[in-house]
Amino acid sequence: MFAYVVRRLAAAIPVLLVASFLAYALVALSGDPLEPLKLRNPPAPPRTIELETQRLGLDHNIFVRYWDWLWGVLHGDFGQSVQSNYNIGANLGRSATVTLRLVLVAMLLALVLAILTGVLSAVRQYSRFDYATTFAGFVFLAMPSFWIAIVLKDLAVRYNRASGTTVFYTIGETSQNYESLSAAGKFADVAGHLVLPTIALALISYAAWSRYQRAAMLEVLNSDYVRLARAKGLTWRKVLVKHVLRTALIPLVTVTALDIAAILGGAVITETVFNWNGLGRMLLNGVARADTNAVAAWLLLAGLVVIAFNVIADSLYAVLDPRIRHE
Amino acid sequence: MSDTAARPTAETFTVRERTQSQLVLRRFLRHRAAVTSLVLFVVVALFAYVGPLLWKYSYTDITDDLSQPPSLGHPFGTDLIGHDTMAQVMRGTQQSLKIALAIALIGTVLGALWGAIAGLYRGKLDFLMMRIVDVVLTLPTIAVAAAVAAQGVGGSQWWSIAVILGALTWPYVSRVVRGVVLSLREQEFIEAARALGAGNARIILRHLLPNALGAIIVVATLTIATGILGEAALSFLGVGVQAPDTSLGLLVSINRDAVNTRPWLFYFPGLLIILIALTINFVGDGLRDAFDPKQTRVRQ
């Protein structure tokens, strides 16, 4: 099992390196960070432009720049930002803690809901519950994530206004007075701010995942070994949990791991709607300034998260499917 | 020959002979949600492309009616400076549909060829090609697209957005097509084509891709839906379609603060996005069932 995970991890490292180079080159070649300086009126002195070029390493070719950047990152130095007083590493760490808690909670919520509805609608196929959740799933799947987020936010603002108290937090990842709160107060504050963005982000994944779970359940339910398990005299509940659900979770693990990159993208959008200061704002700020080192660091982190989840998924296969374990 | 007498005459068959495409069409037409969706989608497309020819306002017209709620004169209302929202939504739908179709076209052609080549050749080439797919799938589409589009590559034209998103969509298609090709390549008709001296290019273009067409059409349909949502997301982040032109995503984005005070500005373009993505997904679902030969319930 351990060797299996290590092997998967080793296979992922070249993919991550190529992806990070590709990301670095794309950002570096698509824009010039010194353009605002060059177009400034009155024009910036040539000496300033020269110094900035040297500070950002723009006078080297793309391979040298990437290598210097990668070497720095491996030693904990994320390089110079276009904004001279901006610490990329510190900001990436802070933004990541903010955003990853949103991503993880949303994924957990989406998974629990998807498994519950997937199982129920497969067991009661063509029931009213099945039709209702199928239709709802299609509608959620067709909704842009920012649209759901804006509608939820509007409903919450209306509710707050009608009730005269702040029941739902609609702005930011914490309150203004966060630092002065007690430990329990901080936890409640973070949880309160998480509610709406989590629902907005979870709904989209839930829609797709519940469809997959339903299809997988139906396929397993109609298989011979389930009929055999029933014929042996096992209770329905035991068959469902130990024989059907366990096997039917395998496709869901695959899709979840495949969707991680899309969920990170969705988090960028959800955060924008709720004015969070997380990875979303960091990316958009970096992108607007053609800040190669910052955006490349962002994409490297995203790639790491995606690969981490793929390795977790691979290990979960081994847990769910004994054939893989004994390979 | 003696079996001439045993050969069944036309009358003994109760099932009429049908070609593959006739069967697919029949199965599709029995899928009520898919057919309804196809009709709705055609209505939306007519609204977007024929509507502007008939409607009295253009999306650039500025009328004297400011911030009007929906009425007979302006079915979708007007915005703060007097644009007719229905004319804007028509133009937005046009641009969004055009971009989504281009994304689907680029993604499908590239992905189908990539997947077919990898699946046919197997071995080292397949390994290398699929690792490249992994590389692209490792990066969040929206983040990479935003990073490239923000610099105004291609002058922020509609096709530059389509090219960027299409270039990030093909890996999904290639995985599906490779899977189908892997099973097709083992079948006898490929062996027969080889025996007749067909080269790899001919086998891919004349034998593998046509036989994988069902899977390709289904995944292409679903790509249109993700294309619509991708364009909307990019425009929402401010790096997609730029004013004075417009798209459904841009309309939702610029009217997001009006959701409470002038909801018609926010809800109409948003509902159009949902309607397009929803109908296309249902059509894709219907096509999937129609192309699935295991589907037996319609053979009556």
**What is the count of residue pairs from A and B with beta carbons less than 8 Å apart?**
138
Confidence grade of residue B300 (pLDDT, cut at 50, 70, 90): very low
Count of all residues that appear for chain A in the document: 327
Helix (H) or strand (E) holding A14: helix A2-30
Place of tokens 């299809």: A215
Distance from CA of A269 to the nearest CA of B (A): 7
Query: What is the pLDDT at residue B52?
Result: 81
B249 vs A: CB within 8 A: yes
Q: Contacts of residue A15 in chain B, CB cutoff 8 Å?
A: 131, 134-135, 138
CB contact under 8 A, A15 and B135: yes
pTM, rounded to two decimals? 0.85
Whether residue A107 has pLDDT greater than 90: yes
Distance from CA of A45 to the nearest CA of B (A): 24
Query: What is the pLDDT at residue B154?
Result: 59
Amino acid at B109: V
Query: What is the pLDDT at residue B14?
Result: 67
Residues A48-82: tens digit of each pLDDT: 888 888 888 788 888 888 998 899 888 888 888 88
Residues A22-31: tens digit of each pLDDT: 888 888 887 7
Residues B170-184: tens digit of each pLDDT: 998 998 888 888 888
How far apart CA B95 and CA B159 sit, in angstroms, is 10
CB contact under 8 A, A268 and B151: no
DSSP class of residue A54? Answer: H
Whether residue A7 has pLDDT greater than 60: yes
Across the interface, of B147, B233, B266, the residue whose CB is closest to A144 is B233
A151 vs B: CB within 8 A: yes
Burial class (CB in 10 A: 0-12, 13-18, 19+), A68: middle
Percentage of residues in chain B with pLDDT exceeding 90?
Answer: 19
Helix (H) or strand (E) holding A308: helix A292-320
Whether residue A106 has pLDDT greater than 90: yes
| B137 → chain A, closest CA residue | A261
CB atoms within 10 A of CB A190: 17
A251 vs B: CB within 8 A: no
ipTM of the complex: 0.84
Residues B128-169: tens digit of each pLDDT: 998 899 888 888 888 888 888 877 665 667 888 899 899 999
Name the residue with higher pLDDT: B120 or B12: B120
Query: What is the pLDDT at residue B69?
Result: 78
DSSP track, chain B = -THHHHSPPGGG--SPP--HHHHHHHHHHH-HHHHHHHHHHHHHHHHHHTHHHHSS--TT---S--SPPS-SSSTT-B-TT--BHHHHHHHHHHHHHHHHHHHHHHHHHHHHHHHHHHHHH-HHHHHHHHHHHHHHHHS-HHHHHHHHHTTTGGGG-HHHHHHHHHHHHHHHHHHHHHHHHHHHTTSHHHHHHHHTT--HHHIIIIIIHHHTHHHHHHHHHHHHHHHHHHHHHHHHTTSSS-TTS--HHHHHHHTGGGTTTSHHHHHHHHHHHHHHHHHHHHHHHHHHHHH-TT--TT--
Whether residue A222 has pLDDT greater than 80: yes
B216 vs A: CB within 8 A: no
Q: First vs last Cα of chain A: how many Å apart? A: 10
How far apart CA B66 and CA B86 sit, in angstroms, is 14
Confidence grade of residue B99 (pLDDT, cut at 50, 70, 90): very high
Across the interface, of B142, B151, B275, the residue whose CB is closest to A290 is B151
Q: Contacts of residue A286 in chain B, CB cutoff 8 Å?
A: 147
Name the residue with higher pLDDT: B257 or A210: A210
Rounded to 10 deg, the angle between the A183-221 and A246-273 helix axes is: 140
Residue ranges of domains in chain A, CATH in brackets = 2-11+99-320 (1.10.3720.10)
Query: What is the pLDDT at residue A327?
Result: 55
| B258 → chain A, closest CA residue | A154
Q: What is the mean pLDDT of chain A?
A: 86
